[in-house]
Amino acid sequence: MAQPFLFKVNLGGMIDILANHLYSSPDVFVRELLQNGTDAISGRKIFDKNFSEGRITISIEPEKSMIFTDNGTGLTKEEIHQFLAVIGQSSKRDLQTGKILEDYIGRFGIGMLSCFMVTDEIKLRTRSAKVPSHAYEFTGKPDGTYSIIEIPVDSVAIGTAMYVNAKKGCEEYFNEDRVAELVRYYGLPLPFPIMMQSDEGDYRINEMFQATGRNAHENMMQLGKQIFESDFLDCIPLESKSGLFSGVAYILPHAVSLHSKTKHRIYLKNMLLTEDGEAILPKWSGFLRCFLNTSQLRPTASRESFYEDEMLEQAREELSQCISGYLINLSKKNSQLLEDIIQIHFMAIKSMACEDDTFFKTFIPFLKFETNMGELSGKDLLTRHDPISFTQDMNQFHRTSSLMLAQGQLLVNACYVYDASLLRMIQEYDENLIIYPLELIAVDEFLQDPSIDAQVEADDFVQNAKRIFKRFDCDVALKSFSPEQLPVFYMLDENAETLREIQHSKENSNAMFSSMLDAFAEEIGDHKATLFLNWRNPLIRRLIHLSNAEKVKAALEILYVQALLTGRFPLKGDEMALLNNNLIQLIEWGTAE
């Protein structure tokens, strides 16, 4: 059998890994100390059920040193050898079963090493609650050596005191304000006092608000300002019925993109787990910043998120209920505030309304829609008796909105996220409303035929125009429509538009793709593009009676290209040539002597 060998660990190398790869900043040594202190207090509570006065005390000599003291369980001499001197051995693991004990936060037994990022020596004085008759001083160095000496028991209380001296270049981390801020960041909800000893008197760093009582709301708002350094529109208490979480959600006073990542403070057992709420908060909650403490949820191995299980699902559901419940309540008690919130966070609210019938009924009267008649609310749409058409094509909206407005037709721009779904829901909500996509009707139905006399008068002109535009696969029709300033209106169906795109791609690509594009084009079924000439327009009326065929052709071709440009269609090569050639022709005519 081959002789087994042991790995050797280079402690200096490990510290480098911690500092440069595992931890984002040397600041995290505060988190690790806090975590160890918290776990020591939990350990003492397990050992002594009557113990209820856990406390951490921090004392700082600016830019020089820090003493971090807890009155937790402390360590015996054996435990010092076992837990401090063996990397990866955590005192939070039950040595019999190997399992992590429930009340503990830390897991890997490497937290203390993080102190070496800011110090060249870790000194620890400890006295165990289990064996209070002995006390020890441990000194560890980054080269992997350590020593333990027994010290008088009256020199140290039960618990552990860490002495950390700033190493050169790390003085900045030994600053009272900075450490207090970090303690609040990592462990604000911790249920015992974390005290800072200061020349101006000791003070509690993790002072929490009173969630009940007369000033609860003000306290919560104050807390939000303190944590997120921002004012908010309002706050929403988050209390889980099943005890999975508690906290507050703050409503941002400004709009945020639907996909922007809002930073939260999400704690697990009172210690910060993540700023990313994606795993636990509803997908529409981007308008909130949450301060949330969870207790029973399981963290992932990386401790950056929650493990996906039924409990997380339940927490997600309850959080969603807390937030939606608040908003629904607001619609009854403070509709002005709800309107303000919707004005700013309409995307999030639309998303909610699409998700659930109750949300829909609550929010739809307040939601706004862009239409060719200006901005209309859901309430306006719900009380409308005339048909409502909508389009999901921004260009089509711009192309047809004025034309439809002139005929008194309402057109909703449903290009924005959730609008089309909401319109479908409005239709389902009230079956008497007539809501239909614009694609299902022909816009030319809104364009009137001119009188028979007019049609006869213009017939030759129209036939001539049909011949001119045949090569562009475009039909021509004479109609009478408002606004009369509009001489022509170009319209094509979806197939014709796709065909234009295929042709555009073929014109602008390598021959390798020709056969594929040809095959796509061949498969396009019936398609229709039409240039409508407006009988009411004075220019068109003049052109009908113009006898110079060359000038008529040039004018019609320019009007055709202008209609394409107005409709935001990209010009194909031959259409661009049409514009250029005719403009030059017009200039020549205009400047001819």
Partner 1 sequence: MASFRQMENDFANLERGTARLNGIRDAIHQADSAQDLRWMFIFRYDYIEESIFCGDRYYAMIMFPELLQIYDEHPELNENDRIAYDMLIVLRWIVEAVQEFPQVSREEIDKYFRLYKRRLLESGYGLNNYYMKRSLVYMHMDRDIAILSYDKFLEIPMDSMSDGKALCTDFMVEFNLYLGNEEKALTLAKPILEGKLRDKINLPHSTQHTFCWYYLQTKEFEKAVPYMIPLEKKVDGDLYHMHHIGAILSLYSRLDVEKGIRLFNRNYHLYLGSKNPWLKFYFISGAVHLFDSMVKNGIGTDLVKVPESPISTAVAEGDTKKVAEILRKECAELAQRFDKRNGTTHFMDWLTMLDD
Q: Indicate the residue among 8 and 259 with the shorter CB distance to partner 1.
A: 259
Place of tokens 């910043």: 289
- Give residues with Cβ within 8 angstroms of 545, minimum separation 6: none
Q: Should residue 347 be labelled a site residue for partner 1 when binding is judged by CB under 8 A? A: yes
Q: Should residue 420 be labelled a site residue for partner 1 when binding is judged by CB under 8 A? A: yes
Strands (E), 10-109: 56-61, 65-70
Give the sign of the dihedral formed by CA 268, CA 274, CA 277, CA 279: negative
Contact 256, 308 (CB under 8 A): no
From 101-109, 285-293, 502-510, 528-536, give the range in contact with partner 1 by CB under 8 A: 502-510
| Burial letters 259-294, b for 16+ CB under 10 A, else e | eeebebbbbbbbbbbbeebebbbbebbbbbbbbbbb
Smallest gap from Cβ 509 to partner 1, in A, equals 3
Q: Look at residue 213 and give its three-state secondary structure.
A: coil
Q: Report which of 405, 31, 65 is spatially closest to residue 184, judged by C-alpha positions.
A: 31
516-510-493 Cα angle (round to 5): 50
Q: Should residue 257 be labelled a site residue for partner 1 when binding is judged by CB under 8 A? A: yes
Q: Should residue 416 be labelled a site residue for partner 1 when binding is judged by CB under 8 A? A: yes
Q: Indicate the residue among 52 and 257 with the shorter CB distance to partner 1.
A: 257
Phi and psi, residue 223, nearest 5°? -60, -45
**Residue span 303-342 as binding mask against partner 1, x where in contact by CB under 8 A, dash where not:** -----x----------------------------------
Place of tokens 């057992």: 269
Give the sign of the dihedral formed by CA 580, CA 586, CA 590, CA 593: positive
Q: Indicate the residue among 482 and 505 with the shorter CB distance to partner 1.
A: 505
Q: According to CB under 8 A, which one of 59, 76, 89, 392 is a site residue for partner 1?
A: 392
Cα separation, 142 vs 316, in Å, equals: 44
Q: Indicate the residue among 416 and 446 with the shorter CB distance to partner 1.
A: 416
Q: According to CB under 8 A, which one of 393, 457, 484, 493 is a site residue for partner 1?
A: 393
From 39-47, 261-269, 427-435, 514-522, give the range in contact with partner 1 by CB under 8 A: 514-522
Query: Within a 13 Å sphere around the CA of 455, how many CA atoms are in the beta-carbon half?
Result: 8
Smallest gap from Cβ 570 to partner 1, in A, equals 5
Q: Indicate the residue among 161 and 347 with the shorter CB distance to partner 1.
A: 347
Q: Indicate the residue among 33 and 280 with the shorter CB distance to partner 1.
A: 280
Q: Indicate the residue among 257 and 547 with the shorter CB distance to partner 1.
A: 257
- 6-45 binders of partner 1 (CB under 8 A): none
Cα separation, 45 vs 50, in Å, equals: 7
From 155-163, 229-237, 506-514, 526-534, give the range in contact with partner 1 by CB under 8 A: 506-514
Smallest gap from Cβ 505 to partner 1, in A, equals 5
Q: According to CB under 8 A, which one of 198, 215, 242, 513 is a site residue for partner 1?
A: 513
Cα separation, 25 vs 179, in Å, equals: 13
Cα separation, 30 vs 186, in Å, equals: 8
Strand partners, 203: 196
Q: Is 572 exposed, middle or buried (0-12, 13-18, 19+ CB in 10 A)?
A: middle
Q: According to CB under 8 A, which one of 434, 441, 456, 516 is a site residue for partner 1?
A: 516
Q: Should residue 441 be labelled a site residue for partner 1 when binding is judged by CB under 8 A? A: no
Q: Should residue 255 be labelled a site residue for partner 1 when binding is judged by CB under 8 A? A: no
Q: Indicate the residue among 391 and 534 with the shorter CB distance to partner 1.
A: 391
Q: Indicate the residue among 417 and 456 with the shorter CB distance to partner 1.
A: 417
Q: Should residue 434 be labelled a site residue for partner 1 when binding is judged by CB under 8 A? A: no
Cα separation, 515 vs 511, in Å, equals: 8
Q: Report which of 285, 277, 253 is spatially closest to residue 352, judged by C-alpha positions.
A: 285
- Give residues with Cβ within 8 angstroms of 319, minimum separation 6: 238, 240, 245, 280, 281, 282, 285, 292
Count, residues near partner 1 per rule CB under 8 A = 37
* DSSP structural state of residue 100: B
Q: According to CB under 8 A, which one of 259, 332, 333, 471 is a site residue for partner 1?
A: 259
164, two tokens: 């950390």
| Amino acid, res. 387 | P
Smallest gap from Cβ 460 to partner 1, in A, equals 36
Report the 10 Å Cβ neighbour count for 484: 14
Q: Should residue 520 be labelled a site residue for partner 1 when binding is judged by CB under 8 A? A: yes
From 152-160, 456-464, 552-560, 567-575, give the range in contact with partner 1 by CB under 8 A: 567-575
Scanning 133-202, the segments in alpha helix (DSSP H) are: 176-187
Q: According to CB under 8 A, which one of 418, 481, 489, 535 is a site residue for partner 1?
A: 418
Q: Should residue 505 be labelled a site residue for partner 1 when binding is judged by CB under 8 A? A: yes
From 79-87, 201-209, 496-504, 578-586, give the range in contact with partner 1 by CB under 8 A: 496-504
Q: According to CB under 8 A, which one of 504, 528, 541, 553 is a site residue for partner 1?
A: 504
Q: Indicate the residue among 139 and 498 with the shorter CB distance to partner 1.
A: 498
Binding site for partner 1 (CB under 8 A): 257-259, 308, 347, 392-396, 414-420, 498, 501-502, 504-506, 508-510, 512-513, 515-517, 519-520, 523, 568-570
